[in-house]
Structure 1
Amino acid sequence: MSFLFPSSTITLEAALRDLAGGSPKARALAAQALGDVTEPTEKRRAVDALLRALDDDRPEVRMEACGSLGELREPSAIPLLVKRLADGAAPVRQNAAIALGTIGHPDGFEPLASVLAEGPADLRFQAATSLAEIDAARSFEPIAAALEDKDPQVVGAAALSLGSIGDPRALPLLVAHLDDVDPGARFDVAYALAELKDPRGRGVLAAALADPERGWDAVAALATLGTADDAEALGRALTTKGTPPEVTVLAAGKLLAITPDGAHHDAARRVLLAALSARKVHVRGLAVEQLAASAGAWAKAPLEKLAKSGKGSELLDAIAAALRSIEERGQ
């Protein structure tokens, strides 16, 4: 009997049993677990059970069933997933839209285009992303139209989708929304412009570097642009008070990648080496990751020291990989 998770906590038979007659929580967990089935015969049984679960009386079960059918990329589920776009529970209809995008079948396109134009805001938001996953070229027009949506979250989602599509026709449409009154939509527009290699949103991105919610994405977008002006903005993030430590470490790593010998090189090195001693393990791990990507021989001794310390015990594999990367670069 195969197990659905490496932890071997639930089997296929147990998941099917729980989904058919367990408590609401057990049914939801079982529906989620069935999305990990890979063996063909087991997958068919899982799909049949999940299709039935789309009519469960509990929204959390229907939501997980939608998600798992998407993970299984099951095209036979499309008609019932389309039906769930009209579900009375927002999480269910959102997961149905996500699943249609993940499956990527053309039959899901028109229903999603329809809800993008006329559905509730929570569904319009998700449809903007899922449409692009099904057919990027075909989705350009309906997603571009969604930039005029009255809901700022829908505007932001449409902008991000246009950035991922990569069609330069989106540039003037996006630039027109750089002054959007909503800061979230404005940031998403700037991020999308960066994906299209257009620097006109740089000021918005730079202003968001200290934002706990958007700083990480701001660093990534500025690094995508990757010019000297973007490096200068990232350099300021190294010393700006209030910048989240994760953002500072990522900015330092991106600086080394963009301008290895730039004006902020020494400051970036200091940030990364100091982060190896950070209290939080995920900050130390991020520093190791950034050093693996761009550091030279100067990082070897500090990494080796971390490996021998208690703070490095959870990062030994990452440290070893970083040391190999540095050695291979011959720096």
Structure 2
Amino acid sequence: MTGLHVVSKRLATGRRWFVYAWRGGPCIHKQDGEEKPVITREILDAQYRAQQDTIGRAPEDVDWLIKAYEASPKYINTKPSTKKDYRLWLTRISKRFGTTPVDAFCDWRMRGDVIEWRDEWAHMPRTADKAVVMMVTLLNWGVENGKLERHFCHGIGLLHSADRSEQIWEDRHWTAVEKEEDFPAHVMTALRLARLTGLRLGDLVALEWKQVFDKQITVERTRKRGGRAVIPIFPELRKLLAEIGRKDEGTVLLNSRKQPWTASGLETVWQRKQPKGFDRTLHDLRGTFVTFLAVKGLTDEQIARIVGWTAEKVGEIRARYVDEARVVVSLVERLSG
């Protein structure tokens, strides 16, 4: 009987050998030591049993891997919000690669196919990066659990710039949105609330009225860092909350069907409705909130505590967008006098 696949791995305690029934098949024997395993009758019998087990089984393609992953504790024990996001991307992976044999990912050329698939969302860099992260998560789980030997999708570059803190919405951006014909009022409300709270998208759509108090909004555990956010209610924010219409319970933001937004739902509608060539993202509204607080007179340290940034980072935005603007206004007033 032929087709056995033998590989080794260097561990801290020495070399370990793995014998697979075939390339991409189940591991049927492990052995420690420098010498390569001798193929014994027991190993060949294990190979035969593994081959018999595959008769009548579903093909070991990506859809098979996805089903195995979804049945694993790794997936089952994730937070509901994370699982929902994973489910979306696993569906997209299935649509593109579902019938691809998992063994194909042992070939370095599949890396190019995954990059090509990622680039379908190149116009939405954060979304494109999620595609890669979910694919690598799935393949890593497959390797860890013996579903495939290896893959070549590690280290695929991300398209989204990690630090956009200095990208803020300026007057020209708000003007562009306001000039859009038939721009949805419920999306504009979400944009305004993001500008006046600085909440990340996940926390923004999940904000409930019970978290809105007389003088502040309190989010006990933020989605990304699990920390506590306390946002002061300035007159502008109080006015917006009054326009929305305060309730005793439920989420603050609702979509066109009067249902709570999801983060992906708001992101998708925004991408569809934003002005052509728009060069800011929903995430950039956090930096916009920082400039709002700076204009209100808060110190860098006070702002940093509210948004969870460093005072130095806040200072950079202040210097670029707040202090610079005040200098220009002062110069204009002096030259006009």
Whether these two folds match at TM > 0.5 is no
Provide the TM-score with structure 1 as the length reference: 0.23
Q: If you compute each CA radius of gyration, which structure gives the higher value, 1 or 2?
A: 2
The structure richer in helix per residue is 1
The structure richer in strand per residue is 2
With CA pairs under 8 Å and 6+ residues apart, which has the higher RCO, 1 or 2? 2
